[in-house]
Structures are given as structure tokens and as C-alpha cells.
Structure 1
């Protein structure tokens, strides 16, 4: 039951991220729009997506961490082709996190700093220092139950007809969303629409949710982002991209330049092999911020980067330079200087004293 609730919340989080203009507060996300009941609220603290593209088929696995009071929500995602929807494996993101985590290196410094003796008692933990069916215009191409989710796959030639069908089937969409769906209708995209069908009442959607996996045919790697322009608060996108080469977005689509967190060929294992296949695949991890969502002007289309040069973040752990026993090298050096200075003074005085005795004789 807990897993079912997590899955439901995942879908709701997607919808909530992108519909910031609705009467019931919602939030936009990178790949869909989530809408709670008008009297409830839902928010997404974190969205993580893994995308696998082999040149013919694209798969998107999404996981969300949500909060709020919503017990019911709806989610819609535009896709360029006929979609299959299944539940994903949450362990996939554990594997990706392990593969892409930064490399930690030690970096020593000579002079004591604020957390070192004699300034702050000498205890230092090595903290890191530096361097995501109403009308003929709508067709139902599939409908199934996934745990607590009622999933419909739709085609539409009229955004108003699509909006009307969704409303009749439990989805409360705004006029602004219908307007933002028009480019997808013009390109004859299809839609995945999900409605919460709870088995228990009185339970709010919250915490980390089980992921949802959506697959569709596509001759280009595209990540739907246009609906995020409806968000009323800054948005962030984190993507794990699995393809034959290192990948990069063609444009910033109105956000800050995407940052690469990891790039390199990896050997798939466990749930990663289930998504990417058993052969070696190139993994690119990207983060991007959208401080002003209204500036988002389209969907992300990714292409092969100029080279497959590998990259991994490096986090330096600054540590005071010491010798055996933890004695600071600076202290030994200063002690040596002090001893040498004292020795020089003593030697000078001895020489002067010896000279004075001979003169008296």
C-alpha cells in the first residue's frame, strides 16, 4: 500500500510543478503537469528523471519527493509518439547516484585556519571546500490501472476538446494549460493522462514516491519542458541521460546554461541494465535552473556533444598538513625557527662573553 501511495504522489508531483496558475496551487515540473483538488495543495521538493534513448525509442523514468495536503491529483504529459506506461524501479536512482557521485580528494594547507588550533580547539572534520471521450477530436488509445493510478493514453486534434475530455474524467485543467497544449496538438503529439484512484481515503501524498516509466518511439531525444512556463516559482531540472554518446541540450530554452555533473561510459548493472540494456552506454548527468519559468520557450532537445570527453566533479577536502601523531607541520616549523633563533642568540652571547674574558687577562 505504501508503494502505491508513493506512485500516485509521483504523478501528482509532476502535474503540480507545471500548473502554478490554477485555483488550487500547483507546481510545474520538467515533464508534465500535476493538479490537485481545488481545496488542496501539493508541492514537489525534488524531481529526478532518467532518460534512455537508443536512436529509435525514448524511455523516461521519473521519481518525485512531494509534500502537501492533497489526497487526489491528476497529471498529464505530452509525448511525441504512442506511449507505454509502467511502474519504474526506485533502485535505479540509487545506482545512478552511486555512479555519478563526485570524486573526493584531500587538499592540504600549511597555516592554521579558523577551525584549527589555536583558533578553535583543533577539531576539524575535513569539510568539503569546493567543487537537480468527449467528442471525435479526442481518441482513447489505451487505458489501464497501475496500482492506484488510472492511466489513459490519448490523442487530440483540438486542445479545447482535450481539456474537455480531461475535465469530464476528473482532471481540472485551466484555460492557460489548454493554451500551452496547442503546440503539441499542432504537432500531433499524444498524451499520457493519469488520475489518482485511491484505495484508502484520508491519506495525503507525501515523501519519496515510486517512479513511473514512460516509453515512446522517437527519432530524436526530447524532454518535454514547455508546460513548466506556467510555474509561479523557480524551477530546477535534473537529468540522467543514457545514450550512445555524451549528450547536451541544443539550447538553454530560457533557463541558465545547463551544468554537467558527470559524463562517461558506464557498464549497466541491476536496474540500470533493465533500462539501458547490458551493453556499455554513455551516461551524462545534467542540472539546470530556471529562475523565471515564464521565459521557458520550448522543450529540451538533446544532441550528441562535440566529443565524448569524460567528466566527474571533484570535491576537495581541505586538511591541515600534519605529521605522524597529528602534529601540525606549521607548529614544528615554527618551533624549529624558534629553536634556531634562540640558539643563535645564545651563541652570540657566548662569543661576546668569551671575548670579554680574554681582554681582561
Structure 2
């Protein structure tokens, strides 16, 4: 009997290994959902990754505005996205020029810093490699899902919804062509409990069979809010690391209350605006202080809350400075080399003069013989 058990054990072990391999291959083959502050999901059988999320958050004390732009990559030609909001929102298209203005305004200042002695990368120390800096709810008895508005905005199909049941909201989205992950109803539960509303968006490119790629058209949302809040909970469903760039316009310098599960938020720019023109000038009217915040989320599943912002301890301005280290030169020749050459020349000259003096001394007379 012992001899018969061994083949059976091998067969069972092989079956277990085949099952585990199949599960793993299924995970690899399945398209990983890519989520932003809302949730951005591709259609069936397609892949879509959100590599960058940029938003402008303007708060004047009673009303909040968010201009959101996502940078996507993949082969999906359809996708859906949802943003929870604390009160009824207005939705409109935004001008992408706004982000160009912000990028220019908050770009690091480049300065040259000279050093005397050669460092790694300078001749003759050329073994290292130089690195370049990187850039920076509803009451009882109401319908479980209410459609406040639904309309077309450019390439977007926008539905504004209310819900008293996360499962019913999830079902409405799916039955109306908004693809979302299986765990969405669980992730929406805190917003339903707090009686928030929702802006659901289906994205489609202007022409058929064109993949959603690069920076998507930005959307402008506005709603009442007694505190500046940026919804981030749904990003916890993402399967890939997330990157957030948040521009905050307010009366004073602002900061996040916590890291909400990501790396420590970093301020990349802070300053009082003068009189900017165009889109930025219109949005910044009455909120003249700009704080630019960057944050990385290597493990999105650790995101457990929304970003709530507060006034910083001071309005100290800040701008990144990128130093370019260069070797100090004189007429194209390293200053250290000229210094060393001059020192060697002085040493040789001094040695030569000493030798000449010794050679010109008269020979000393021989001692007199003893008498």
C-alpha cells in the first residue's frame, strides 16, 4: 500500500501546482484597473493605466472648485470615472491651458553652482555618471439612486447621481454602461453614509477606434463645501502605483492634514500670486495664494481617507531650486589645474634658483696643514 500512495501524492501535488499556475496566469492576463481620485476603468478586455493625476483645488471658505486632468496610457477606447462630491455639483469642460500656466509658474529655478576641486564626473574623475533632476446623502423614502442630470460634454457622457445604497448605485452604473470594479460598492459605502453625491463620467475619444492616451481633457467641478477636501478613497482600488499633483488656491498657504496612506506629501511651490492672466487669473480671483503639492502612492490599497486640507502655520513662500554644479574655469581651463601648474612652476623655479646659488658659491679653501 505504501508503494501505491506515493503516485497518488504526486498526482495531487501536480494538480495543486497546475491550479495555482492557472490562477496566477489569470491574474497576469486580466487587465489591471487604473484608478484616480474617482475610479477610471477601461472597457472589457482592454487595459488602461493612469500614470499621473493633476488637479486644481480652489476653496474660498464656502465653495470648492476642482479642475481634474488625468494622464492615461493603454489600448482602451472607452473608460469610466466617478468622483464623489459632498454637495450638488456643476460640471463643465475646462481649458488645458490652465495646467500649462501652472507648470510654468511652479517650475524649479535653475541656478549654476561653481566648485573649485574636481568632483565625480569632472576630468579626471570621469568614472561616475551625472544625474539630472526630475521635474516636480439622501433621506429615507427617497429613491435608492436618483439621476439629477445626464448630458454630453465634449467627449464625456456625464451623469450626476444621488444614492442611498452603494449596491444600488453600483448596479445603476453597470446597467448604464459605466464599467467599475467588483469592490466599488464597498468603497462607496462611506460616501453613501455621509450623504454625498456623485459625478459619473464615461470617456470616449473623438474618433472611433482611437485609444485613450496621454493627457485627457480636463473637467471642472464646483460645489458647496465648508472645508477643502479632495476625494481619494476610491484610489485605494487601484492596482498600480499612483502619482498626485495638487494645486491648491486659497487665501493662505495650505497643507494636507495627513498622508492618508501614501508617502509624505511634499510642497513643491508656495507663493502669493500677482495678477496672472487667462484661465489661472479667473480661477485665482479671491484666492491669491497657490500651494503646489506632490505625493506618491506606491501601495494604493493603503489609502483609507480623503485629503482634507488646512491652513499652514505660515505663508512662507517656497520654490524649488535646482543647482547645476560646474567646475570653475579660467579661459576654458580648470582653475584647479592652473593653480596646481602654477604651484609646480613655483616649486621648480625655487629649486632651480637654489641650485644656481649653490653652483655660484666659491669653493672653500682647503684647511692649512698642521705645523
**Residues 1:222 and 2:229 are matched in the alignment:** yes
**Residues 1:194 and 2:235 are matched in the alignment:** no
Aligned partner of 1:10 in structure 2 is none
Change (3 A) 1:98 1:129: closer
Kindly report the root-mean-square deviation, in angstroms, between the aligned alpha carbons of the 2 structures.
2.6
Q: In structure 2, which of residues 266, 273, 280 is the aligned counterpart of residue 272 of structure 1?
A: 280
**Residues 1:69 and 2:82 are matched in the alignment:** no
Aligned partner of 1:113 in structure 2 is 119
Superposed displacement of residue 197, structure 1 = 5.4
* C-alpha distance in structure 2 between counterparts of 1:291 and 1:105, whole Å: 31
**Residues 1:258 and 2:265 are matched in the alignment:** yes
Aligned partner of 1:246 in structure 2 is 253
Output one character per residue of 1:109-145: Cα deviation in whole Å (capped at 9) or x when no partner: 112234333455xxx9x9757996xx92111111211
* TM-score for the superposition, normalised by structure 2: 0.83
Q: In structure 2, which of residues 52, 55, 65 is the aligned counterpart of residue 46 of structure 1?
A: 52
Aligned partner of 1:7 in structure 2 is none
**Residues 1:153 and 2:160 are matched in the alignment:** yes
User: Contact conserved, 2:51 with 2:243, CA < 8 A, in 1?
Assistant: no
Q: In structure 1, which of residues 169, 172, 185 is the aligned counterpart of residue 179 of structure 2?
A: 172
* C-alpha distance in structure 2 between counterparts of 1:23 and 1:38, whole Å: 10
* C-alpha distance in structure 2 between counterparts of 1:129 and 1:329, whole Å: 26
Superposed displacement of residue 193, structure 1 = 0.7
Q: In structure 1, which of residues 141, 144, 147 is the aligned counterpart of residue 151 of structure 2?
A: 144
Aligned partner of 2:65 in structure 1 is 59
Superposed displacement of residue 28, structure 1 = 1.9
Superposed displacement of residue 181, structure 1 = 0.1
Output one character per residue of 1:133-176: Cα deviation in whole Å (capped at 9) or x when no partner: xx921111112110121111111111111111111211133331
Q: Which has the larger radius of gyration?
A: 2
Q: In structure 2, which of residues 190, 193, 215 is the aligned counterpart of residue 183 of structure 1?
A: 190
Gaps of 5+ in 1: 1-19
Aligned partner of 1:326 in structure 2 is 332
* TM-score for the superposition, normalised by structure 1: 0.86
Count of residue pairs the alignment pairs up: 333
Output one character per residue of 1:12-65: Cα deviation in whole Å (capped at 9) or x when no partner: xxxxxxxx9996431122x21012111111112222111111111111111222
Change (3 A) 1:212 1:107: same
Alignment of 1:277-292 (within 5 A): 277=285, 281-292=288-299
Change (3 A) 1:71 1:253: same
Change (3 A) 1:130 1:85: closer
Aligned partner of 1:15 in structure 2 is none
Aligned partner of 1:354 in structure 2 is 360
Secondary structure of 1:203's aligned partner: coil
User: Contact conserved, 1:24 with 1:37, CA < 8 A, in 2?
Assistant: no
**Residues 1:82 and 2:82 are matched in the alignment:** no
